[in-house]
Structure formats: structure tokens, C-alpha cells
Amino acid sequence: MLSSQGDNLIFRIREAIRDTYGDAGEALAVAREVAEVSFGISYVQAFAGTARPLSGEEETRLSLMVERLCQGWPVQYVTGRAEFMGRWFAVSPAVLVPRPETENVVRAAVESVAGVTAPRIVDVGTGSGCIAVSVKLALPEAQVTGVDISGEALAVARNNAVSLGADVTMAWGDVSCPDTLPTGPLDLVVSNPPYVRQSESTAMTVQVREYEPPLALFVPDDDALKFYRALADYGRKTLVQGGALVMEINSALGAETAALFECRGYGEVEMLKDMYGKDRIVRCRRV
């Protein structure tokens, strides 16, 4: 229940969602994001008492947002935006919420084509388009295509490409059916495929487990590397010699994932860690 209009907006939101988040610090961070992203009211303004009052329409919208937060919705779906590499991307329940560790995938991808003139790049499972768009903006001369099996996700990705000024082609494709994917020759294939085993879902927050798209998250326990096998096959068919594959991985399956690409004849197979020291990326090259 929201408190009265005269109270500090961030405090009001925090108190309303405190029971959902448990941790007061996390509830405060979520409240700040809602206030700043959706209403343009900063932390300083709210606590200094200089924030403008909300209109009646805004109060109604705020009530709905708080209701959704209390139901467990990720704050990014509630505000409709997520920050990634210093830019704001539109998000919806059709796409995964971009995460900070995925920024390392973008950096590794850009490094992998250093020195290549107008590299040809495909982002498999583009989702919100955060990888494809960020790579294109880092490499303006690159030819970048993002593919996804979800038409709803592609609509979000196209919107992000346009709003952020990135000339990226977005197209339907299923990595399990290679004939639906762009043909080569390619200099780089990058992907953040589904990799969470079903048995690992119990350790996830309700915001992720219940609200983010399962198609983009989960794989069967008995076939956890299915999408990496498909990516390996796709890379063998489309990458030029020396072309790179850069993929986000399940940190619990790093050794197994790297071994898969070694067994399929890729060279320079390396594991890169994220900011938390976990195995997060496998990078390799077609030889």
C-alpha cells in the first residue's frame, strides 16, 4: 500500500515493496530505479524534498507499477527499460533482462575482430538486441545481423536498434535449424544462448524464474550443451578460417563447454571470467 502523496517518493515505493524484497537495500535500489527511470525524480531530489509532485495519472501508473513489483515482476519489465553498457534498452517479458556480465561478451566479441575490415557478424539468439546493437555501435563499419526464434523478441530488438541508431539487421532464425540462419562467410558468431539447467531453477530469484522467458533461459539437465553443439556446427559451416565464436556460458559447465569446441576442431579455445571471477565466456576460432 502506497503512503500519502506528501511523502518522499522513493521512501514510499521502498516501504510498499519491502516485504517482497526482504532486504531493505535492494528494495531501496529498486525504488530509486522506478523513481528515476519512470518519473525523472532523482535520489537527491526525493530526499531533499525538491521533487515535483506526481500528477493523478502518474499516481495511478505508480500504483500499478508497485503492484507488479509486489507480484515479483523484474523492475526492468515494470519500467520497460534496462541499462546495458551505458545505454538504455527497451525490454519486455518477451526478452531476457540484459545483465552486466553480458557486457563482457560484447567486449570479447569486439576484441575478436580487431584488425578485420568491415567484419561480418551474426548474434544468435539476439533477444533485446543488446549484444548486436552494442557491437555495431562499437564497430560502425561492421555488418551485424541479430537472429532470434521469437517474433516478439525481434520486435523489441528492432526497436532498440532504431532508437539507438544502430544499423543492425534483425531476422528470424532457429539455431537448431541451421538453414534458417544467415549464411557465411562470417568473421564472428556471438551468442548468449539458453544455458540454465532445469534443476538450477530453484536457486533463481522469483523475478527471473517466474517472469523472464523460459525459452531464452532453460535447457534440459540431460542435454545442457545442446545449443553449443548447434553453434559449433553453425560456426564450422559459416566462419572464415580464423573466424571467432564468442559465447556466454553456464559457469558450472565451463570445462565441458570448452571441451566440446576442442573436440569439434576449434583452435585457441579459451575461457574468460566475469567480474565475479566465474567462468562466463568461451571464445574459440575456426582453424
On whether the pTM is more than 0.75, the answer is yes
Cα(216)–Cα(100) distance, rounded to whole angstroms? Answer: 17
Which pLDDT value is given to residue 103? Answer: 97
| Among 120, 121, 29, 110, CA closest to 75 | 29
- pLDDT at position 5, please? 44
Question: Which triple of cell numbers denotes residue 15?
Answer: 516501504
Give residue 22's pLDDT: 78
φ/ψ of residue 225, rounded to 5 = -105, 20
Q: Report the alpha-carbon distance of residue 153 to residue 159 in Å, rounded.
A: 10
The pLDDT of residue 7 is 65
Which cell numbers in the block locate residue 149? 526464434
- The whole-angstrom separation of Cα 266 and Cα 269 is 7
Instruction: Output the nine-digit C-alpha cell for 156.
Output: 523489441
Give the pLDDT confidence score for residue 47 in this predicted structure: 85
Domains located in the chain, CATH noted: 9-71 (no CATH), 81-286 (3.40.50.150)
The label of the residue with cell 559457469 reads: 251
- Distance in angstroms (rounded) separating the CA atoms of residues 135 and 226: 25
Series of mean pLDDT values for 10-residue runs along the chain (287 residues): 62 93 89 95 90 94 96 96 97 97 97 97 98 98 98 98 98 94 97 96 91 94 97 97 98 97 97 94 98
pLDDT value for 216: 94
Q: What is the pLDDT of residue 3?
A: 47
Residue in the block written with cell 559449433: 232
C-alpha to C-alpha distances, 187 to 43, 112, 115, 161, 226, nearest whole angstrom: 45, 9, 11, 21, 23
Annotate 137-162 with b (16+ C-beta within 10 A) or e (fewer): bebeebbbbbbbbbeebbbbbbbbbe
